[in-house]
C-alpha cells in the first residue's frame, strides 16, 4: 500500500521539508535556502518565515547591526514570534526613551503562545495600576506556572537583560500588592526573606496565587533593573 506522503504534490512536500528545517534551526534554514533556487523561493513564504526558530543562533536577534535588522524585518512582518519578541523588547527598553509600540509586538508574540513573550508581557502588565491590565498579565503567566517553566524563563531573561541594562523608566515598581490581604496573607508572604524559590517543584500551587505574583514581580524588577522613582 502506498504511503500517503507519496501522494502529496511535490511543491507541498518541499514546503513541508523547508518548514520542518525552519522550525528546528535557523542555521540549517539559512544554509538550505542558499543552496537551491526552489528552497530559496519557499524560504520567502510568510508561512515558513513565521516558523523559523533562532534558538540555535540567538546572537542574530540580540546583537543585530543595521543590515541584520533589515534582514529580520520580513520575519517580523510574517509574525515570527521570536523576532517580534526581540524587536518588541528592544524597542520597549530602548535607552534613553523606550517605545510603547514595542509592547504591541510583545503582545502579539505572547498571544501566539511564545513562552518568553508570555512571561515578559505578563509581568509588564502586572506592573500597571489598573486591575484589568493586571488580570491580563496573570492570565499570561499562569499558564507558564502550570507548565513549570518559570525558572527556565527567569534564567533566559537574565541572559537577555544584559542587552537592556540601562533603566529607561518605561516601567516603575507598582507599590500596590496584587494580594489584597498583604502582608497578613498566609501565602507566599510567610516565606518572604527566609525561603528561596529555586525550583519549579517548590512552587506550591496551594498557596495564595496573588502572593505568588507579588513574589515574581520582585524577581522581574531585579532582572530588568526596574527602580523606585
Is residue 211 part of the contact set for Zn ion (CB under 5 A)? yes
Is residue 207 part of the contact set for Zn ion (CB under 5 A)? no
Q: In this structure, what C-alpha cell is assigned to residue 57?
A: 543562533
Is residue 178 part of the contact set for Zn ion (CB under 5 A)? no
In the chain, what are the helix, strand and coil shares in percent, each to the nearest 5? 65, 0, 35
Cβ proximity of 76 and 52 under 8 Å: no
Whole-Å CA distances, 51 to 14, 22, 43: 15, 6, 11
Is residue 138 part of the contact set for Zn ion (CB under 5 A)? no
How many chain residues interact with Zn ion (CB under 5 A)? Answer: 6
Contacting residues for 62 by C-beta, under 8 A, at least 6 apart: 86, 160, 163
**Residue that the C-alpha cell 510574517 belongs to:** 78
What minimum distance in Å lies between the beta carbon of 12 and Zn ion?
53
Q: Which CB, 91 or 214, lies closer to Zn ion?
A: 214
**Sequence-ordered strand ranges (E) for 57-167:** none
Stretch that binds Zn ion, among 122-130, 147-155, 165-173, 203-211 (CB under 5 A): 203-211
What minimum distance in Å lies between the beta carbon of 213 and Zn ion?
9
Is residue 187 part of the contact set for Zn ion (CB under 5 A)? yes
* Among the listed residues 103, 208, 223, 226, the single contact to Zn ion using CB under 5 A: 208
Stretch that binds Zn ion, among 6-14, 35-43, 115-123, 207-215 (CB under 5 A): 207-215
Stretch that binds Zn ion, among 31-39, 122-130, 177-185, 195-203 (CB under 5 A): 177-185
What minimum distance in Å lies between the beta carbon of 180 and Zn ion?
8
Crossing angle of the two packed helices 101-111 and 115-126, in degrees rounded to 10 = 130
Cβ proximity of 188 and 212 under 8 Å: yes
Instruction: Tally the C-alpha atoms within 13 A of residue 163's C-alpha that lie toward its C-beta.
Output: 19
* Among the listed residues 14, 149, 151, 185, the single contact to Zn ion using CB under 5 A: 185
The residues binding Zn ion (CB under 5 A) are 179, 185, 187, 208, 210-211
Amino acid at each position: 500500500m502506498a504511503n500517503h506522503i507519496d501522494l502529496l504534490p511535490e511543491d507541498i512536500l518541499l514546503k513541508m521539508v523547508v518548514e520542518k528545517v525552519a522550525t528546528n534551526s535557523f542555521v540549517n534554514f539559512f544554509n538550505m535556502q542558499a543552496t537551491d533556487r526552489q528552497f530559496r523561493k519557499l524560504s520567502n513564504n510568510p508561512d515558513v518565515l513565521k516558523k523559523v526558530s533562532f534558538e540555535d543562533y540567538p546572537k542574530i536577534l540580540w546583537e543585530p547591526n543595521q543590515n541584520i535588522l533589515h534582514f529580520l524585518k520580513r520575519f517580523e512582518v510574517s509574525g515570527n514570534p521570536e523576532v517580534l519578541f526581540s524587536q518588541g523588547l528592544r524597542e520597549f527598553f530602548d535607552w534613553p526613551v523606550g517605545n510603547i509600540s514595542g509592547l504591541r509586538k510583545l503582545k502579539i508574540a505572547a498571544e501566539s503562545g511564545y513562552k518568553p513573550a508570555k512571561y515578559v508581557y505578563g509581568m509588564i502588565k502586572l506592573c500597571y495600576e489598573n486591575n484589568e491590565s493586571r488580570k491580563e498579565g496573570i492570565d499570561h503567566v499562569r499558564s507558564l506556572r502550570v507548565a513549570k517553566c518559570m525558572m527556565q524563563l527567569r534564567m533566559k531573561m537574565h541572559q537577555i537583560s544584559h542587552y537592556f541594562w540601562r533603566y529607561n523608566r518605561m516601567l516603575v515598581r507598582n507599590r500596590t500588592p496584587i494580594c489584597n490581604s498583604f502582608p497578613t496573607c498566609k501565602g507566599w508572604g510567610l516565606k518572604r526573606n527566609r525561603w528561596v524559590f529555586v525550583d519549579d517543584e517548590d512552587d506550591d500551587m496551594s498557596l495564595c496565587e496573588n502572593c505568588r505574583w507579588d513574589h515574581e514581580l520582585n524577581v522581574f524588577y531585579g532582572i530588568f533593573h526596574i527602580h523606585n522613582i
